Amino acid sequence: MHAARLHALAWSGLLGLALLSPAAAQSDGATQAAIRTALTQWMADFNAGNADKVCSLFAPDLVAQYRGQPERGYSALCDMLKRSLNDRSKTYTYSLAIKEIIVAGDLAVVRLTWTLKVRSKDSGSEVSSDEPGMDIFRRQADGSWKIARYIAYESP
Protein backbone atom coordinates (compact mmCIF):
# COMPACT_ATOMS: atom_id res chain seq x y z
CA MET A 1 0.00 0.00 0.00
CA HIS A 2 2.86 2.41 0.78
CA ALA A 3 4.38 1.88 -2.70
CA ALA A 4 1.01 2.52 -4.35
CA ARG A 5 0.63 5.75 -2.42
CA LEU A 6 4.13 6.88 -3.47
CA HIS A 7 3.36 5.96 -7.06
CA ALA A 8 0.11 7.98 -6.97
CA LEU A 9 1.92 10.93 -5.40
CA ALA A 10 4.61 10.82 -8.08
CA TRP A 11 2.01 10.79 -10.85
CA SER A 12 0.03 13.63 -9.32
CA GLY A 13 3.25 15.65 -9.01
CA LEU A 14 4.10 15.04 -12.66
CA LEU A 15 0.56 15.94 -13.67
CA GLY A 16 0.81 19.15 -11.64
CA LEU A 17 4.05 20.08 -13.38
CA ALA A 18 2.51 19.35 -16.77
CA LEU A 19 -0.46 21.55 -15.96
CA LEU A 20 1.77 24.38 -14.76
CA SER A 21 4.01 24.36 -17.83
CA PRO A 22 1.49 26.02 -20.21
CA ALA A 23 0.81 28.72 -17.60
CA ALA A 24 4.53 29.31 -17.20
CA ALA A 25 4.92 29.51 -20.98
CA GLN A 26 2.05 32.00 -21.20
CA SER A 27 3.59 34.02 -18.36
CA ASP A 28 6.97 33.95 -20.14
CA GLY A 29 5.28 35.12 -23.33
CA ALA A 30 3.60 38.00 -21.51
CA THR A 31 6.89 38.93 -19.85
CA GLN A 32 8.73 38.80 -23.16
CA ALA A 33 6.09 41.07 -24.70
CA ALA A 34 6.32 43.52 -21.78
CA ILE A 35 10.11 43.67 -22.07
CA ARG A 36 9.98 44.04 -25.86
CA THR A 37 7.47 46.90 -25.41
CA ALA A 38 9.66 48.58 -22.75
CA LEU A 39 12.75 48.43 -24.99
CA THR A 40 10.83 49.72 -28.01
CA GLN A 41 9.32 52.55 -25.96
CA TRP A 42 12.75 53.49 -24.64
CA MET A 43 14.08 53.62 -28.21
CA ALA A 44 11.17 55.86 -29.28
CA ASP A 45 11.69 58.17 -26.30
CA PHE A 46 15.44 58.37 -26.89
CA ASN A 47 15.04 59.02 -30.61
CA ALA A 48 12.45 61.72 -29.91
CA GLY A 49 14.91 63.40 -27.54
CA ASN A 50 12.68 62.88 -24.49
CA ALA A 51 15.47 63.33 -21.94
CA ASP A 52 12.98 63.21 -19.05
CA LYS A 53 11.93 59.64 -20.02
CA VAL A 54 15.23 57.92 -20.91
CA CYS A 55 15.90 56.78 -17.35
CA SER A 56 12.54 55.01 -16.95
CA LEU A 57 13.91 51.72 -18.34
CA PHE A 58 16.52 51.35 -15.61
CA ALA A 59 16.21 50.06 -12.04
CA PRO A 60 17.49 52.32 -9.24
CA ASP A 61 20.21 49.74 -8.42
CA LEU A 62 21.46 49.59 -12.02
CA VAL A 63 25.01 48.46 -12.75
CA ALA A 64 25.98 49.25 -16.34
CA GLN A 65 29.19 48.10 -17.97
CA TYR A 66 30.25 49.23 -21.44
CA ARG A 67 33.60 47.84 -22.56
CA GLY A 68 36.40 50.33 -22.12
CA GLN A 69 34.39 52.67 -19.89
CA PRO A 70 33.96 52.83 -16.12
CA GLU A 71 31.08 50.96 -14.53
CA ARG A 72 28.09 53.24 -14.07
CA GLY A 73 25.16 53.27 -11.72
CA TYR A 74 21.69 54.71 -12.32
CA SER A 75 22.56 58.37 -11.70
CA ALA A 76 25.76 58.38 -13.75
CA LEU A 77 24.10 56.64 -16.71
CA CYS A 78 21.05 58.91 -16.61
CA ASP A 79 23.22 62.01 -16.43
CA MET A 80 25.22 60.83 -19.47
CA LEU A 81 22.06 60.03 -21.48
CA LYS A 82 20.46 63.37 -20.64
CA ARG A 83 23.66 65.29 -21.50
CA SER A 84 23.80 63.51 -24.87
CA LEU A 85 20.18 64.28 -25.70
CA ASN A 86 20.60 67.92 -24.62
CA ASP A 87 23.69 68.37 -26.81
CA ARG A 88 22.30 70.60 -29.57
CA SER A 89 25.34 70.08 -31.82
CA LYS A 90 24.49 66.40 -32.48
CA THR A 91 21.54 64.14 -33.18
CA TYR A 92 21.53 60.66 -31.63
CA THR A 93 19.40 57.81 -32.98
CA TYR A 94 19.18 54.21 -31.79
CA SER A 95 17.74 51.19 -33.56
CA LEU A 96 17.21 47.84 -31.88
CA ALA A 97 17.58 44.17 -32.82
CA ILE A 98 16.42 41.74 -30.12
CA LYS A 99 18.01 38.31 -30.55
CA GLU A 100 16.35 36.49 -27.66
CA ILE A 101 14.61 36.96 -24.35
CA ILE A 102 14.96 34.30 -21.67
CA VAL A 103 12.66 34.55 -18.65
CA ALA A 104 13.37 32.84 -15.32
CA GLY A 105 11.02 33.91 -12.55
CA ASP A 106 11.62 37.55 -11.63
CA LEU A 107 14.66 37.82 -13.92
CA ALA A 108 14.94 38.00 -17.69
CA VAL A 109 18.00 38.13 -19.93
CA VAL A 110 17.85 39.89 -23.27
CA ARG A 111 20.50 39.39 -25.95
CA LEU A 112 20.35 42.34 -28.30
CA THR A 113 22.21 44.75 -30.50
CA TRP A 114 21.68 48.48 -30.41
CA THR A 115 22.85 50.48 -33.42
CA LEU A 116 23.72 54.08 -32.57
CA LYS A 117 23.95 56.79 -35.20
CA VAL A 118 25.41 60.15 -34.24
CA ARG A 119 25.02 62.98 -36.72
CA SER A 120 26.83 66.28 -36.41
CA LYS A 121 24.40 69.13 -37.08
CA ASP A 122 27.21 71.40 -38.30
CA SER A 123 28.88 69.14 -40.83
CA GLY A 124 26.13 66.59 -41.44
CA SER A 125 28.69 63.80 -40.97
CA GLU A 126 27.37 60.62 -39.38
CA VAL A 127 29.07 57.93 -37.33
CA SER A 128 27.39 54.57 -36.73
CA SER A 129 28.27 51.86 -34.23
CA ASP A 130 26.79 48.45 -33.45
CA GLU A 131 26.61 47.70 -29.74
CA PRO A 132 25.85 44.05 -28.94
CA GLY A 133 25.07 43.30 -25.33
CA MET A 134 23.01 41.63 -22.65
CA ASP A 135 20.43 43.33 -20.51
CA ILE A 136 19.29 41.68 -17.30
CA PHE A 137 15.79 42.76 -16.36
CA ARG A 138 14.30 42.32 -12.90
CA ARG A 139 10.62 42.52 -12.04
CA GLN A 140 10.09 45.53 -9.77
CA ALA A 141 7.74 45.74 -6.78
CA ASP A 142 5.13 47.46 -8.98
CA GLY A 143 5.25 44.57 -11.49
CA SER A 144 7.19 46.50 -14.16
CA TRP A 145 10.37 45.15 -15.72
CA LYS A 146 13.50 47.30 -15.55
CA ILE A 147 17.14 46.79 -16.47
CA ALA A 148 19.13 46.02 -13.33
CA ARG A 149 22.39 45.06 -15.07
CA TYR A 150 23.75 45.39 -18.57
CA ILE A 151 26.92 44.58 -20.40
CA ALA A 152 27.59 46.07 -23.84
CA TYR A 153 30.45 46.68 -26.21
CA GLU A 154 31.05 48.17 -29.63
CA SER A 155 31.54 45.70 -32.49
CA PRO A 156 34.92 45.89 -34.14
For the domain covering 28-152, report its CATH number. 3.10.450.50
Query: What pLDDT sits at residue 135?
Result: 98
- Specify the 3-state DSSP secondary structure of 31: helix
CA angle 148, 75, 94 (to 5 degrees): 70
Distance CA 104, CA 32 (A): 11
pTM for the model stands at 0.80
State the DSSP string of 79-130: HHHHHHHH-TTEEEEEEEEEEEEEEETTEEEEEEEEEEEEEETTT--EEEEE
Query: What pLDDT sits at residue 40?
Result: 97
Query: What pLDDT sits at residue 3?
Result: 47
Question: What strand order describes the sheet that includes 107-120?
Answer: 72-73, 58-66, 145-152, 126-139, 107-120, 90-104
Each domain of the chain, given as residue ranges in start order, spans: 28-152
* 3-class SS shares of the chain: helix, strand, coil, % to 5: 40, 40, 20
Block means of pLDDT (10 residues each) for the chain, length 156 residues?
A: 44 39 62 96 96 94 94 96 92 96 96 96 92 97 96 88
